[in-house]
Amino acid sequence: MNFKSIFVCLAATLINGFCLAQTNQTAVVEDFKTSSTTQSGKQYPQVNSEGRVRTSILAPQALKVQIDIGAVKYDLIKDEKGVWTGESAPQDEGFHYYQLNIDGASVPDPGSLYFYGASRWGSGIEVPAKDQDFYALKDVPHGKISQNLYFSKITNSQRRCFVYTPPDYDKNTSTRYPVLYLQHGMGEDETGWNVQGKANLILDNLIAEKKAIPMIIVMDKGYATKPNQTPPQAGGAPAGGSGGFSAFEEVMINEIIPMIDTNYRTKADREHRAMAGLSMGANQTIQITMNNLDKFSYIGGFSGTSNFPSVAELDPATFSNGKFKDGEALNKQIKLFWLGLGTKEPNPFPGSVGAFRAMLEKAGIKYVFYQSTGTAHEWLTWRRDLFQFVPLLFK
Amino acid sequence: MNFKSIFVCLAATLINGFCLAQTNQTAVVEDFKTSSTTQSGKQYPQVNSEGRVRTSILAPQALKVQIDIGAVKYDLIKDEKGVWTGESAPQDEGFHYYQLNIDGASVPDPGSLYFYGASRWGSGIEVPAKDQDFYALKDVPHGKISQNLYFSKITNSQRRCFVYTPPDYDKNTSTRYPVLYLQHGMGEDETGWNVQGKANLILDNLIAEKKAIPMIIVMDKGYATKPNQTPPQAGGAPAGGSGGFSAFEEVMINEIIPMIDTNYRTKADREHRAMAGLSMGANQTIQITMNNLDKFSYIGGFSGTSNFPSVAELDPATFSNGKFKDGEALNKQIKLFWLGLGTKEPNPFPGSVGAFRAMLEKAGIKYVFYQSTGTAHEWLTWRRDLFQFVPLLFK
């Protein structure tokens, strides 16, 4: 604990009667900088070379202000002007959702950009990763992200779908492209992959280096229920909002894919159609692709499998109505079966993905297993998955 | 003041020592509903038929919580569970930026969607307008909004541009379309017109009713400075961020227009090119179009003119280097000169727009003047401007 930490702790003790967050901290490295997720023109939040997140907020009458990140709350310390400042313990590289707590109120940090995750719009922070170059915004040709609004008869609701088209899509006006359907996780929505996922930049960079075949990526919302299945949600905006997903497979097969094949220049066959997703989206991917192998030949499960949350041993003869039992036939149909996992993922993911892998091996189904080093159930794991997965598609 | 108001005021008096916000209020109509800008799944913020905005937040240790809207702060009242609830005075119809104040900290409302305005990402609330049908999301063919990332050599920076393409753009692959360049106001950015402005829905509805010619709309950021003109901004994300605009005309003429004409199927001549903007964007529109009449023939100034903030009388012979002096010649070149203003706009807008109109009249320049009834310097004024302006374009 350096002099400043001691002083800060002393001040915290005087104000709050105890010193919470600082006691277990070693010296904080004073090389904080604003993050790519700090609002332009704002001074905080900042991140240092250890991955600590520091924020600061004027709250003269507040009794207690905390930053709540990675399921831990860290106390901020008040100065004589009523400005509260403080930092978290070092965080993993990559993107994290967080919030502030002001006298018991959980609120977004007014200095950060906002993202949809944890079933809410709220603050996010980017801790620079050593390998961040692969998703950096570079001066290479960029694809477009298009917002498509459409009415879904199955759910009787307005929906929104984001579509990435590669850099040359509008120039090569007779070329047709393969399609990757890419799904978000629970509590996230159709904005996830093109904002915090950086899917567009990952593809732009891979295509510029000729490491991936130019392709279309479709990012829709993984929630879909029929009108009689759930009460209408608050708000009414097509953006955001979690919900059930009992009708998602039907929406994907009967509405989304036909819409994309009608409105975009796709190669509309199973050889040129992939699906991948993260967490809940991985579970959905495996279920939908295995139920529709006439429509898909590439499968990507990032941090999730269709046995979630069970870690129990699976028998290929009976699991999922025996869909996985004939390994030899499946190996002919499936061009790529990809599973990914971060090395720091919490339970039940290591166990449930492990049980699923064991089942694939028992059935003799070929698959690729990718591990993201030092990342948990978070976006850097999934950005890396996408970066490694996409070069294997449509070749 | 009804029984509940009296009780609430009494409670406020007990807690705060005085009754601030409630004293001048009449009975609150208890027909509050979530707004289209309430996050899906959240219960607050809500709006009632009077246009009052009510919000609610758990803040058990807070001493004072307020909703800050329309430059007035209204006290919320704490219940026994630590939940603070309260409402504003009636607000104008349409969209308003707002924030919460918790023990002196200004923060976004965790229940609202977030918008870029007032030079920050923060809360916004939609108060339903009697004429909201014209910008409603309907089951009509929808155009797309595309995000275009590009590198600007003039500013040596990455920029972002949103482009609306009409519903038939991807079907009629040999058709070329006219283009409207549409600019946001000060403290807003390139997201404004396609989010809170609802430009895409206004166009979708007008095109569906055959009241507007299908067109492309380009929404870029109105800030642009050369590398030596300002220090680099914090953050670095291409989204958001106010700044200077000394290089915007150069970027518009030499980078944005050529990029759009290269990447989209435009009718690339002055007869098929319009520019409009709100407030700062109106000022920019008038300056850029009048400097480049070889490139534009339609001009729209929504709540702004190029003499802002002056309300002094203008002499066409000398104002803007005499660009407006030859009314007869300008009437041949300019197919539409549109000025709009809300009837509740604050100073200096009525005076500055009035002085500009008088100057146009003195020079004999034809123009259309539109007034939005009951709205101030806010988005409902500008949505109505767009709705009235677009049907007059390219005919």
Least confident of A120-134, A144-158, B188-202, B239-253: B239-253
Distances (CA, A) of A172 to A168, A194, A369, B215: 6, 23, 35, 22
CB contact under 8 A, A62 and B137: no
- Choose among A95, A54, A94: nearest CA to A75: A54
Amino acid letter at A338?
A: W
User: How far does Cα B393 stand from its chain's mean position?
Assistant: 20
CB contact under 8 A, B61 and A104: yes
Per the document, the length of chain A is 395
- Predicted TM-score (pTM) of the model is 0.91
In chain A, which stretches have pLDDT less than 50?
1-24, 231-241
For A150, nearest residue in chain B (alpha carbons): B142
Chain B hits for A105, CB-CB cut-off 8 Å, are: 57-59, 62, 65, 102, 110
**Cβ distance B259 to B166 under 8 Å?**
no
Q: What is the rounded distance in angstroms from the CA atom of residue A108 to the CA atom of residue A121?
A: 8
**Model confidence at B233: pLDDT above 80:** no
Q: What pLDDT sits at residue B26? A: 74
Of the two residues A351 and B6, the one the predictor is more confident about is A351
CB contact under 8 A, A241 and B148: no
CA-based nearest distance A137→chain B, Å: 8
> Mean of the pLDDT values across residues B165-185?
95
**Cβ distance A255 to A217 under 8 Å?**
no
Selecting from B109, B110, B147 the residue whose C-beta is nearest the C-beta of A145 gives: B147
State the average pLDDT for chain B. Answer: 92
pLDDT exceeding 90 applies to what percent of chain B?
88
A101 close contact with B: CB closer than 8 A: no
Largest Cα span, chain B: 72
Number of Cβ pairs < 8 A linking chain A and chain B: 204
pLDDT exceeding 70 applies to what percent of chain B?
90
CB contact under 8 A, B239 and A107: no
**Cβ distance A310 to A355 under 8 Å?**
yes
> Mean of the pLDDT values across residues B244-267?
96
Q: How many CA atoms lie within 13 A of B56 on its CB side?
A: 13
Q: What pLDDT sits at residue B149? A: 97
Q: CATH says B133-392 is which class?
A: alpha beta
User: How far does Cα B301 stand from its chain's mean position?
Assistant: 13
Residue B242's pLDDT band, with cuts at 50, 70 and 90, is: low
CATH level 3 topology of B29-128:
Immunoglobulin-like (2.60.40)
Q: Which of 20-59 (B) contact A at CB < 8 A?
A: 34-43, 57-59
CB contact under 8 A, B145 and A150: no
The tokens of B61 are what? 């240790």
Q: List pLDDT tens digits, range B316-338.
A: 999 999 999 999 999 999 999 99
CB contact under 8 A, B147 and A151: no
The tokens of B142 are what? 């929808």
For A38, nearest residue in chain B (alpha carbons): B235
Selecting from A40, A114, A158 the residue whose C-beta is nearest the C-beta of B137 gives: A158
- Best of A40, A171, A225 to substitute, by most chain B Cβ atoms within 10 angstroms, is A40
Chain A hits for B236, CB-CB cut-off 8 Å, are: 34, 36, 40
Chain B hits for A243, CB-CB cut-off 8 Å, are: 41
CA-based nearest distance B352→chain A, Å: 30
Amino acid letter at A301?
A: G
Of the two residues A231 and B256, the one the predictor is more confident about is B256
Question: How many CB atoms lie under 10 A from the CB of residue B2?
Answer: 12
CA B380, A156, B163 angle in degrees (round to 5)?
45
Q: List pLDDT tens digits, range B351-377.
A: 999 999 999 999 999 999 999 999 999
User: How far does Cα A96 stand from its chain's mean position?
Assistant: 10
For B157, nearest residue in chain A (alpha carbons): A139
Q: What is the rounded distance in angstroms from the CA atom of residue B176 to the CA atom of residue B262?
A: 12
Selecting from B110, B173, B238 the residue whose C-beta is nearest the C-beta of A107 gives: B110
Chain B hits for A108, CB-CB cut-off 8 Å, are: 107-108, 110, 114
Q: To 10 degrees, the CA torsion angle through B385, B390, B391, B395?
A: 140
**Cβ distance A352 to A383 under 8 Å?**
no
CB contact under 8 A, B41 and A158: no
CA-based nearest distance B388→chain A, Å: 24
- Choose among A185, A258, A197, A253: nearest CA to A221: A185
The tokens of A60 are what? 């003269």
Chain B hits for A137, CB-CB cut-off 8 Å, are: 149, 158, 238
* Domain residue extents for chain B: 29-128, 133-392
**Cβ distance A12 to A19 under 8 Å?**
yes
**Cβ distance B260 to B218 under 8 Å?**
yes
Chain A hits for B37, CB-CB cut-off 8 Å, are: 235, 237
A367 phi-psi bin (left φ>0, alpha ψ -120 to 50, beta other): beta
Q: What pLDDT sits at residue B228? A: 79
Q: List pLDDT tens digits, range A177-236.
A: 999 999 999 999 999 999 999 999 999 999 999 999 999 999 999 999 999 775 444 333
Q: List pLDDT tens digits, range B133-154.
A: 999 999 999 999 999 999 999 9
- Choose among B125, B130, B104, B111: nearest CA to B43: B111
Q: Which of 118-147 (B) contact A at CB < 8 A?
A: 119-122, 137, 139, 142, 144-147
Selecting from B105, B137, B237 the residue whose C-beta is nearest the C-beta of A36 gives: B237
CA-based nearest distance A232→chain B, Å: 10
For B171, nearest residue in chain A (alpha carbons): A263
Selecting from B39, B42, B110 the residue whose C-beta is nearest the C-beta of A106 gives: B110
What is the C-alpha end-to-end distance of chain B, expressed in Å? Answer: 55
Question: Can you give chain B as a three-state secondary structure string?
Answer: CCHHHHHHHHHHHHHHCCCCCCCCCCCCCCCCEECCCECCCCCCCEECCCCCEEEEEECCCCCCEEEEECCEEEECEECCCCEEEEECCCCCCEEEEEEEEECCEEECCCCECEEEECCEEEEEEEECCCCHHHHCCCCCCCCEEEEEEEEECCCCEEEEEEEEECCCCCCCCCCCECEEEEECCCCCCCCCCCCCCCHHHHHHHHHHCCCCCCCEEEEECCCCCCCCCCCCCCCCCCCCCCCCCCCHHHHHHHHHHHHHHHHCCECCCHHHEEEEEECHHHHHHHHHHHHCCCCCCEEEEECCCCCCCCCCCCCCCCHHHHCCCCHHHHHHHCCEEEEEEECCCCCCHHHHHHHHHHHHHHHCCCCEEEEECCCCCCHHHHHHHHHHHHHHCCC
CB contact under 8 A, B36 and A63: no
Q: What pLDDT sits at residue A230? A: 56
Which residues are CB-neighbours of A326 under 8 A, at least 6 positions away? A363
Q: How many CA atoms lie within 13 A of B111 on its CB side?
A: 24
Q: What is the rounded distance in angstroms from the CA atom of residue B135 to the CA atom of residue A355?
A: 51
User: How far does Cα A117 stand from its chain's mean position?
Assistant: 8
CA-based nearest distance A111→chain B, Å: 8
B203 phi-psi bin (left φ>0, alpha ψ -120 to 50, beta other): alpha
Q: What pLDDT sits at residue A3? A: 39
Q: What is the rounded distance in angstroms from the CA atom of residue A118 to the CA atom of residue A69?
A: 12
**Cβ distance B287 to B322 under 8 Å?**
no
Q: What is the rounded distance in angstroms from the CA atom of residue A258 to the CA atom of residue A254?
A: 6
User: How far does Cα B129 stand from its chain's mean position?
Assistant: 16
Chain B hits for A102, CB-CB cut-off 8 Å, are: 59, 62, 102-103, 105, 107
Q: What pLDDT sits at residue B230? A: 56
Least confident of B68-72, B239-243, B266-270, B277-281: B239-243
Q: Which of 168-197 (A) contact B at CB < 8 A?
A: 170, 173
Chain B hits for A237, CB-CB cut-off 8 Å, are: 36-37, 40, 113
CA-based nearest distance B225→chain A, Å: 15
